[in-house]
Structure 1
Amino acid sequence: MAQLKVDAEPAEVGFDPQRLARIDEHFARYVDDGRLAGWTVAVARRDRVVHLTHHGLADVEAARPVGDDTLWRIYSMTKPITSVAALMLLERGLLALTDPVSLYLPAFADLRVYRGGAAANPGTEPATEPVRIWHLLTHTAGLTYGFHHAHPVDEMYRSRGFEFGVPAGMDLAAACNAWAAIPLVHQPGAEWNYSVATDVLGRVVEVVSGRPLDAFLDEEVLRPLDMTDTGFGAADPDRLAALYVPKPGGGLHRHDRMGDAALRDPTFLSGGGGLVSSAADYHAFTRMLARGGELDGVRLLSPRTVAYATRNHLPGGADLQEFGRPIFAESAFQGVGFGLGFSVVVDAAAGKSLTSAGEYAWGGLASTAFYVDPTEEITAMFLTQLMPSSTHPIRPQLRTLVTSALVD
């Protein structure tokens, strides 16, 4: 099991301890005034953990505090893990970024693209080029999410049972076939639209590797990194944090209807949002990335591959503001591009974010987040269980608090 503990004094790695303490003071107020139940925050620099704090309750009703062993639904923080799995297959020569997805998933041949009209009777046109592997990694495939409520195609997803999840009993292969039968929001490669693309990528990993996604991730990514607390569902109920949503007027409402899915073995293996993890486990994953694909003698990726994946891949160096649709995603849009599975800061000034160009990151539906700042050699992570993640500006606040504590 991965272990997480402080192993450096702040001054040893260039932090002012009093400024670093502002992180806890600030986010403690979220718990004290009822906006969050509890949280874990971890900050490391130069591969040494300098700040680790738990605060509040993992389960308010059971009065169970957040601790080292708390398990969290990481939702879309699953996406970078699935993306790493695909990049590992790329390095082995088993797939290429330019491969049509239909080479592995035949349902993705002869796709149609929405042109106009109501969701019940849309006008469509043929896709002008195939959806390719790089489109899945960059969310430029033209797929979508039902929960966006921003486009008639989103409504088509919802009408078929795809909003937060898939219809009961449906597996990943069947979901991908169903998505391929729905028109794309836009032509492949023409725009950025946050979507089920990483779930489709997970199915590609299954077909290429000949293994179910949970088996491939466990054998090739999670166990090699000693991430033994991370997996798809069947989480220990005595360790799993409860899932909450805000109450109108203040306070929290427990959302067991959605949260209890993490207690069961899923039929649908969601490479886009299905994993449960711990702070120690996800820190091991971010360490691997920050160290150029290697952790404690185990190498998953080449440093060149990590560097390539964490640069902006949007055409012409565009940011999400220019190239993305105005929808919710787990990132700011201004000054932020997108790589192969990660958001990438291209212009920190444009994004009004106190961070460095080249910072890469992602987050999850329940307000979890991580980022890696290669310039400052920082990794930081915030774990809680409040959905939706757009409720509070936790991510930019975390960046500001961490970066402003640097004094070297």
Structure 2
Amino acid sequence: MKTHGRSLLAPIASMLALCVSAPIHADSPAMPTASPESAGFDRKGLAALDSQMHALVDQQKLAGVVTLIARHGKVVHFDTYGKADAASGAPLKSDSIFRIASMTKPIAGVAMMQLHERGKWRLDDPVAKHIPEFANLRVKTGDGRTEAQKSPMTMAQLMSHSAGFGVSSVYAQADLGATDLQGMIDKLKALPLETQPGTAWDYGPSVNIQGYIIEKLSGQPLDVYLDEHIFKPLGMTDTGFWVSPEKATRVVSIHTYDAAGRIVVQNPQRITTAKPSFLAASGGLMSTASDYWRFSQALLNGGELEGKRILKPETVELMRTNVLQPGAKVDLYGPSQEGIGFGMDFAVVLDTAAAKTPMGLNSFYWGGAFGTWFWIDPTNDLVFVGMIQNLNGSTPTGGTPRVREISAAATYDALKK
């Protein structure tokens, strides 16, 4: 590990080679570790990854950055560099807590698939079977009129952003998160769909709707369900919709850029230390790099980590199986992302050449609005987790360096076997 530019890995290289496990925080379970070489990585190649990330901090393009790589179930690289707050100079630490925004979505997807395993819903179920308010939703036609759905939106479409709901900006005036999840449903039932179900991929309220369904089918509040069925079994001790007051100092500040393009703190800062009224399955969680690795590693393992199973292997495989209909393409920032499909709340690499990615075939991944990112590569038995905290940090035109592409290139350059 490194913190604020000082490497801690070198003095314990021999310990790592023996796969010694060490906790990141007093309350956190230990992570299994191994030397890079034992997992097929070139140590100099990983140093090149660090060098590129550290340079972005030193150039005041990032306040701080965490990168974590695991292979064959063991963490071989965990680097922490820079500041948690550019104004105060507080250092970023290995247990710093980040707003993971849309990296909440895959966690909600796992919750949904747990309920799928219990027979609570099927992929071809009409969404209206579980949300009767949506039974007669109309669809915009483009000429100011509406028409009936040509076929009912299905649960598979809801899980893959192709149910017909528009992008988030469509609902800005409706303010869907102003009350609670039931209030969101009450607002959506009065609005037409943007497209016919199955015909387009649009990144909007679909996963918040899933949060509502999780509550309805489980009989538990969303936060309680996630804690009991995912976070506690996996040892994700620092993941939740809010942090306790004593953990507030560990939350990383959101940053942006000044007129000269240098990193500065975005004010005002808000840290949620009490349960919010709206539990956003689309983007409300906070977490750490080590917690998110535990989640990702469980999926790479086929739904199990350290003897605790959260999904069956065949369910995990289903989550990373493309369900988009022909013509419905992932286009998060436009234009369409070729070679990429979408499964159950995960994007999936279907064609590495078309996608222009070094990730292995069938890798599944996502990221968050403040720049956090991860991928799970079953072809190479690899997990990557990256954490930054920038306003518009995932938007290509938002000023944040393209850390996702940089990290993927460097990671696979360093992988030798």
The residue that corresponds to 2:257 in the other structure is 246
Alignment of structure 1 residues 387-398 onto 2, 5 Å: 387-388=391-392, 389-390=394-395, 391-398=400-407
SS state of the match for residue 262, structure 1?
coil
**8 Å contact 2:85–2:265 — kept in the other structure?**
no
Deviation at 1:62, TM superposition (A): 2.3
CA distance in 2, matches of 1:211, 1:109: 24
Q: What is the distance in 1 between the residues matched to 2:330 and 2:229?
A: 34
Deviation at 1:6, TM superposition (A): 6.7
TM superposition shift of 1:326: 4.5
In structure 1, the residue matched to 2:329 is 324
Q: For residues 327 and 378 of structure 1, do their structure 2 counterparts lie closer, same or farther at Cα, with a shift above 3 Å needed?
A: closer
Please, what TM-score do these two structures have when normalized by structure 1? 0.90
| Compared CA separation, residues 5 and 326, structure 1 to 2 (3 A) | closer
CA–CA separation in structure 2 for the residues paired with 1:295 and 1:6: 11
Partner of 2:175: 161
Quote the residue 1:43 is aligned against.
69
Counterpart position of 2:200:
191
Counterpart of 1:244, as a letter, is H
Select which of 261, 274, 293 maps to 1:283. Answer: 293
The one-letter code of the counterpart of 1:393 is R
Q: 1:138 aligned to 2:160? A: yes
Tell me the CA shift for residue 245 of structure 1: 2.2
User: Conserved in 1, the CA contact under 8 Å of 2:69 and 2:383?
Assistant: yes
1:379 counterpart residue number = 383
Deviations 1:207-248 (A, max 9, x none): 000111111101111111111211112453211000112334
Cα distance in 2 for partners of 1:406, 1:292 equals 23
Q: How far, CA to CA, are the matches of 2:317 and 2:221 in structure 1?
A: 28
- TM-score calculated relative to the size of structure 2: 0.88
Amino acid at match of 1:84: V
Distance 2:152 2:364 in 1: 28
> Shift of the alpha carbon at 1:327?
4.5
Structure 1 residue 309 corresponds to structure 2 residue 323: no
1:130 corresponds to which letter in structure 2? P
1:139 partner letter: H
Moved over 6 A (4+): none
Q: Which residue of 1 aligns with 2:96?
A: 70
Contact 1:287–1:379 under 8 Å retained in 2: yes
Q: In the TM superposition, what is the alpha-carbon distance from 1:323 to its structure 2 partner?
A: 2.2
Q: Which segment drifts farther, 48-57 or 138-147?
A: 138-147
Q: Which amino acid aligns with 1:399?
A: A
Does residue 93 of structure 1 match 2:119? Answer: yes
The yes-or-no answer on 1:208 pairing with 2:231 is no
Q: Name 1:217's counterpart in structure 2.
A: 226
CA separation in 2, counterparts of 1:246 and 1:106?
Answer: 45
Q: Conserved in 2, the CA contact under 8 Å of 1:6 and 1:52?
A: no
Aligned mates of 1:126, 1:305 — CA distance in 2: 33
| Matched position secondary structure for 1:288 | helix
* Deviations 1:322-343 (CA, angstroms, capped at 9, x unpaired): 52375428x9812111111101
Q: CA shift at 1:131, angstroms?
A: 2.1
Matched, 1:359 2:373: no
Letter in 2 for 1:220: H
SS at match of 1:370: strand
1:110 aligned to 2:136? yes
1:60, CA displacement in angstroms?
1.7
Query: Aligned residue for 1:368?
Result: 372
* Structure 1 residues 326 and 307: alpha-carbon distance in aligned structure 2, compared to 1, 3 A threshold: closer
Aligned partner of residue 315 in structure 1, secondary structure:
coil
Question: CA separation of 1:324/1:248 partners in 2, compared to 1, >3 Å: closer, same or farther?
Answer: farther
1:364 Cα shift? 0.3
Q: Deviations over 1:237-296 (max 9, x none)?
A: 211000112334301343344x51534421100011000011121111011001000011
Kindly tell me: are residues 126 and 248 of structure 1, through their superposed partners in 2, closer, same or farther at Cα, counting changes over 3 Å?
farther
Q: 2:58 aligns with which of 24, 28, 32?
A: 32
Indicate yes or no: 2:412 matched with 1:403.
Answer: yes
Deviation, structure 1 residue 104: 2.0
Q: 1:324 to 1:179 in 2, by over 3 A?
A: farther
The 3-state SS of whatever aligns with 2:83 is strand
Q: Which runs of 5+ in 1 are unaligned?
A: 148-153, 317-321
Q: Is the 8 A contact 1:76 1:365 kept in 2?
A: yes
CA distance, structure 2, for counterparts of residue 272 and residue 246 of structure 1: 26
Amino acid at match of 2:182: A
Aligned to 2:16: none
Q: Which residue in the other structure is 2:24 paired with? A: none
Quick one: which amino acid aligns to residue 265 of structure 2? R
| 1:265-284 matches, cutoff 5 A | 265-284=275-294
CA contact (8 A) 2:162 2:328 kept: no
* CA distance in 1 between partners of 2:232 and 2:41 (Å): 32
Q: What whole-Å deviation, never above 9, does each CA across 1:360-393 have from its counterpart, x for those lacking one?
A: 0010000000101111101001001012112332
Q: Which amino acid aligns with 2:202?
A: N
**SS of alignment partner, residue 293 of structure 2:** helix
Q: Residues 303 and 113 of structure 1: is their aligned pair in 2 closer, same or farther, counting only changes over 3 Å?
A: same
Q: Tell me how far apart the structure 2 counterparts of residues 195 and 34 of structure 1 sit (CA, whole Å).
A: 32
Moved more, 97-106 or 55-64: 97-106
- 1:126 offset after TM fit, Å? 1.4
Percent identical = 35
1:73–1:262 Cα contact (<8 Å) kept: no
Shift of residue 345, structure 1, vs aligned partner = 0.4
Q: What is the letter of the counterpart of residue 27 of structure 1?
A: M
**Aligned mate of 2:248, from 237, 244, 248:** 237
Paired amino acid for 2:306 = D
- Flag the 1:77–1:345 CA change in 2: closer, same or farther, 3 A: same
**Residues 167 and 205 of structure 2 are in contact (CA less than 8 Å); yes or no, is this contact kept in structure 1?**
yes
